[in-house]
Amino acid sequence: MEVQIFLVFLACLSPVLATTNSTVPLVMWHGMGDSCCNPLSLGHIQTLIEKEVPGIYVRSLEIGDGIVEDTTNGFLLNVNKQVEMACQKIKSDPKLANGYNSMGFSQGGQFLRTVAQRCPSPPMFNLISVGGQHQGVFGFPRCPGASVSLCDYMRKLLNLGAYISFVQDNLVQAEYWQDPLNEAEYRQKSIYLADINQENKVNETYKTNLQKLKKFVMVMFGNDTMVQPKESEWFGFYKAGQDKEVYTLQESPLYTQDKLGLKAMDKQGKLVFLTSPTDHLQFTETWFVQNLVPYIK
Ligand SMILES: *[C@@H]1O[C@H](CO)[C@@H](O)[C@H](O)[C@H]1NC(C)=O
Ligand SMILES: *[C@@H]1O[C@H](CO)[C@@H](O)[C@H](O)[C@H]1NC(C)=O
Ligand SMILES: *[C@@H]1O[C@H](CO)[C@@H](O)[C@H](O)[C@H]1NC(C)=O
């Protein structure tokens, strides 16, 4: 009799036990000039997260085979192709099957937003964009340290012309280049940013999918000397015809016409705007733990 009661008790308890591991997995995507697992950058952040959120499964995306290819692809592999690869990796990882949060660093921020828009399954819950350039960039005043020669090559190609089809198809940074002095050409020829930002036709699927997010957290770096304009990290950009004055997300047609569902998400309290008062990606560990870790716990 006593054994029976004990078994009933266990049976009631087991569903609880099965769900005690309630950490949601995290997918990370590195920035330009970096790779998935560099112990000095993303590897270090992964270790920090694993310490702060015990038991969490972190998948840091490696685009290509090995660190060198992963880094090179961050400059030279068509973003649309990279996103397809990322979706495939996420879909085929059984540990992500029930959904995941995601955190993208610099260009990895807009790339993971693209994953949310194009690949709804498995579901992404929270998207954290750490310095992602959601309206693109116009200028690269500075490059990250480790990849000087690739970065020089990138500048040469951009100088040649960001919207030349050879450059568009082969240079990642050209694919999110927005020239405010030539918006018409940008809309017509950008093979990536103009598409995900619904500049020409509105893809209702993108809108539906993005709105499935629970939270969309965007970090802007208050003293960013790498991204021009830094407001792109919050969906702001230069007003057309010049490169000084900036509009905000709320002032943009993307928002006022709600082409991407961002206005609806804003009303539902799903958009979170944060500032790290530092240069690009130079947040402190304390800032990271206080401001970002709550969204992945
Ligand atoms: C929790 O789940 C993750 C992902 O499946 C796994 O890697 C981890 O080992 C689990 N932790 C515990 C304590 O079971
Ligand atoms: C809209 O986006 C979805 C998801 O990427 C894609 O499958 C579909 O072909 C797109 N539709 C149009 C009209 O471009
Ligand atoms: C820029 O850095 C200074 C010095 O650390 C800081 O006081 C200021 O708040 C930062 N500016 C922004 C806009 O974050």
- The ranges assigned to domains in the chain are 24-137+202-295
For residue 16, the model assigns a pLDDT of 47
pLDDT above 70 as % of the chain:
92
Q: Rounded mean pLDDT of the chain?
A: 93
Q: Let me know if 179 is a catalytic residue.
A: no
The CA distance from 132 to 114, in Å, is 12
Residue 279, exposed/middle/buried by CB under 10 A (0-12, 13-18, 19+)? middle
pLDDT above 90 as % of the chain:
86
Ligand nearest to the Cα of 93, by number: 1
Other CB atoms within a 10 A radius of the CB of residue 64 amount to 17
pLDDT tens for the 297 residues of the chain, in order:
455 555 555 555 544 444 556 899 999 999 999 999 999 899 999 999 999 999 999 999 999 999 999 999 999 999 999 999 999 999 999 999 999 999 999 999 999 999 999 999 999 999 999 999 999 999 888 877 667 788 888 988 998 899 999 999 999 999 999 999 999 999 999 999 999 999 999 999 999 999 999 999 999 999 999 999 999 999 999 999 999 999 999 999 999 999 999 999 999 999 999 999 999 999 999 999 999 999 999
Q: Is 55 in the pocket of ligand 1 (CB under 6 A)?
A: yes
Choose which CATH entry (3.20.20.140, 3.40.50.300, 3.40.718.10, 3.40.50.1820) describes domain 24-137+202-295. Answer: 3.40.50.1820
Q: Is 222 in the pocket of ligand 3 (CB under 6 A)?
A: yes
For residue 143, the model assigns a pLDDT of 78
**Which atom of ligand 2 lies nearest, measured to the CA of 209?**
4
For residue 9, the model assigns a pLDDT of 52
Q: Is 275 in the pocket of ligand 3 (CB under 6 A)?
A: yes
Q: Let me know if 106 is a catalytic residue.
A: yes
Query: Cα of 39 to ligand 3 centre, how many Å?
Result: 28
The CA distance from 74 to 56, in Å, is 26
Helix, strand, or coil here: 192?
A: coil
Nearest-CA residue for ligand 2 atom 2 is 205
Q: Which of 106, 129, 252, 276 is catalytic?
A: 106
For residue 233, the model assigns a pLDDT of 98
For residue 255, the model assigns a pLDDT of 98
pTM for the structure as a whole: 0.90
Query: Cα of 56 to ligand 2 centre, how many Å?
Result: 33
In angstroms, how far is CA 259 from the centroid of its own chain? 19
**Which atom of ligand 2 lies nearest, measured to the CA of 203?**
1
Q: pLDDT digit string (tens) for 140-175?
A: 888 776 677 888 889 889 988 999 999 999 999 999
Beta bridge partners of residue 105, listed in sequence order: 130
Q: Is 225 in the pocket of ligand 3 (CB under 6 A)?
A: no
Q: Let me know if 280 is a catalytic residue.
A: yes
For residue 2, the model assigns a pLDDT of 54
Peptide bond into 94 cis (omega under 30): no
Q: Is 54 in the pocket of ligand 1 (CB under 6 A)?
A: no
Q: Is 223 in the pocket of ligand 3 (CB under 6 A)?
A: yes
